[in-house]
Chain A
């Protein structure tokens, strides 16, 4: 139709373009309508509030608002970086978050591979349900249970004493605090994290397994040479995407489990902001730390995306 129009009036290119657009719209307008709500949502709840980061450069007072609060430039950033405490808080966050990511990834992949090998469907489903369950408990609830379990009169210490060893002061020990955070996080999240790998495993072509079996590969060899290569790109992808979280050490978990004696190894950015920013009503300082954290996250996500697209062939744009 456009061609016909072009022949009739070759000079009127604009009209042709209009026609093309009209044509395109008449075909795909439902898609645009579908996009309207998400775009509004994104603009309203994600982009509009970003305006709030200006308070990181002000001495913010809610009564004066964004417009009325005095501007102080980089004062809060200077305060943060001059603060000897902030370095330890930053490294604590980094260490805890990285340990969590690495162990969780390893555990989730192993669990998925094992689950995948199960013959009895009922048993498999039961195990899955059981290991998904902790994911739905909040850290506040779990924290109470864990504090009880790990206390000196708790079940774990009872068991240790029963074997004849000395009590361990789990919650007051800088040596134990990070392992506890990492292990409890594994226990809570490992099951949930298997889902994506299980899905990837079902995507592997059964023909490969049949061929390997015919070639005489045992189960272990089939896992090594068929399953693992089959989900490798997914593993790399998830690992890369997790890079964006290397400063997210888990606020609720640490807040419920820490106490002053383990500040040295357990105080993370979020708990620091909570104490120094929110409890003392220093919102601007809190916002400055948050902005720093987001900036780091942004850089890491860009890096992760580059890595993901190079090694796992993962692309959005």
Chain B
């Protein structure tokens, strides 16, 4: 499976290379001559002229893009399915959905989750009204509400990101629609082709006995792959250079602590960011310290055809000793283990920490807002003793799928909408950037600025969902390549669409985009969990206890509360308390794959 992923990454590079070139060609016309913006839009729009003719009339004021503005552009909408748009006056079909919301789910005056530019477009083009059965904001609430929906028998038609444990219970209770055939029948060819690239990865978490019961939640390639970010302004002040090896990283971090250069109270500068999830997590992770040694806590590795749980391998000892030494030296915050991943962000946002392993988006925008002197830079992950560099990498297909209620009558419609949205948002030459007045606004001086609203939160399904928003895992990378080409166009010659795509008063976003490309170029460093499947029966039963054992042992050793010998004890206990059985189950699964 590892092979397959690497293969698809290579393919992705090839693919995005071609897209990058077309992007350049497409970008030249409007970029070179601002006056011809609309002509440029028309050129790319030829292939879907039949749709563009009627749709703008139909959508009226809700048409995305701003063709009427002197600095505006035309969004080219994809073709509609036969028989669409519906005849005027026809009653819309109602489909009830569940939605995740958070502090960033915001709408303009008078708009809401159920009524916003996107939902109005869907209603006009597809004759479908999406009603929100209920929404949730936190993980616990999500679980509780899905449970209630199951228990009361009142299941909404389309369920956003059902957690794995609930998904299995829903299957057991026969509450979900089998979409195996629907996918081949209704999903667009391009959609099916993209997922075919990834073999069975997209379906691992949503199929049971070979039948598909949901669409996977897709994240971006390298969404949570880490590189080392550092405060260039601090490093310059202290005369430090970017660390290239783990030893250098330790010395650099200690130098920063020593200088106490952070913005907090005296003596609170943090050397290297870390938190209680010592394995891979999404912010302030230390996985690039484990990976050079060939292990990644919580992950499974393929050792000569056998899957082995990394957390119990002997190779854990060396990095464990290293981390324990670093902790003692003062590289980490003394009580880092009481911090959760999201607490870690505060250390960075409050300028107390200047070195951290985070994803490409990890140069936290807040730091620049809080402290305008901040300059972030990234460097390749420092190498281990044998020169190896590494980090944890995740599959882009996540375990919580989008599901259809058993007997749901409008499966096809959901696929139609998703096909449409996929074309619209993942073919960047269509130049879709939401709606004027909603996602962006023209200023009085003729320039354009984004608002704090984002069209994606208004959408449903695998495309356009908060935190996901795509079918193609390479979408973001393609988009970045496409947009970075425009950075060469002088600012005053960009049209409004290009300006919006590049808008970045702080410079952080562009650095982040470059970081993403850098991570993709070094994709071979990624260490992917070899076990990609729903939890085995023994895992469901024993994992919370085994994780507790592992967490207290590993953190205990790092902070010096437990001796190194505690690790061997832990390995013995792990094996006898169900670990051996889990290993057996995991290898049975592995055997069915090869």
Contacts and interface: CB of A to CB of B under 8 A. Distances in A.
Contacts of B577: 84
Nearest to B352: A153
Interface stretch (B77-85, B99-107, B167-175, B247-255): B167-175
A152 B270 CA distance: 12
A171 B551 contact: no
B338 interface: yes
B541 A64 contact: no
Interface residues of B, number: 38
Interface in B147-179: 147-148, 150-151, 163, 165-166, 169-170, 172-175
A267 B545 contact: no
Contacts of A279: 544
A309 interface: no
Contacts of B35: none
A269 to B, nearest CB: 14
A87 to B, nearest CB: 12
Contact of A172 (B148, B150, B165, B561): B561
Given A153-B268, A260-B276, A280-B165, A171 B335 contact: yes
A65 B175 CA distance: 12
A175 to B, nearest CB: 10
Contact of B150 (A62, A85, A171, A282): A62
A21 B172 CA distance: 56
A261 interface: yes
A167 B559 CA distance: 14
Find the residue from B140, B265, B559, B561 having the highest chain A CB count within 10 A: B561
B552 A264 contact: yes
Find the residue from B147, B172, B173, B335 having the highest chain A CB count within 10 A: B335
A267 B172 contact: no
B334 A167 contact: yes
B548 interface: yes
A153 B265 contact: yes
Contacts of A61: 150, 169, 172-173
A63 B268 contact: no
SS of B interface (majority): helix
Contact of B548 (A68, A171, A263, A282): A263
A275 B548 contact: yes
B169 A85 contact: no
A64 to B, nearest CB: 5
Contact of B555 (A79, A174, A260): A260
A276 interface: yes
A173 interface: yes
B541 to A, nearest CB: 7
A152 B276 CA distance: 15
A260 B559 CA distance: 12
B556 interface: yes
Find the residue from A79, A153, A259, A260 having the highest chain B CB count within 10 A: A260
A61 B170 CA distance: 8
B544 A259 contact: no
Contact of B335 (A64, A83, A151): A151
A267 B151 CA distance: 31
A263 B333 CA distance: 20
Contact of B545 (A153, A169, A261, A276): A276
A129 B388 CA distance: 63
A247 to B, nearest CB: 20
A259 B541 CA distance: 22
Contacts of B175: 63
Contact of A282 (B151, B267, B540, B561): B540
B416 interface: no
B169 A63 contact: yes
Contacts of A167: 334
A147 interface: yes
B338 A147 contact: yes
Interface of B: 140, 143, 147-148, 150-151, 163, 165-166, 169-170, 172-175, 264-265, 267-268, 276, 333-335, 337-338, 540-541, 543-545, 548, 551-552, 555-556, 559, 561, 577
Interface of A: 61-65, 68, 79, 83-85, 147, 151-153, 167, 169, 171-174, 259-261, 263-264, 267, 275-276, 278-282
11 contacts: A62-B151, A83-B545, A85-B548, A152-B334, A153-B268, A172-B337, A172-B559, A174-B561, A259-B555, A260-B337, A263-B552
9 pairs of A and B residues whose beta carbons are closest in the complex: A63-B173, A281-B165, A260-B551, A152-B334, A62-B150, A62-B151, A276-B544, A63-B150, A263-B552
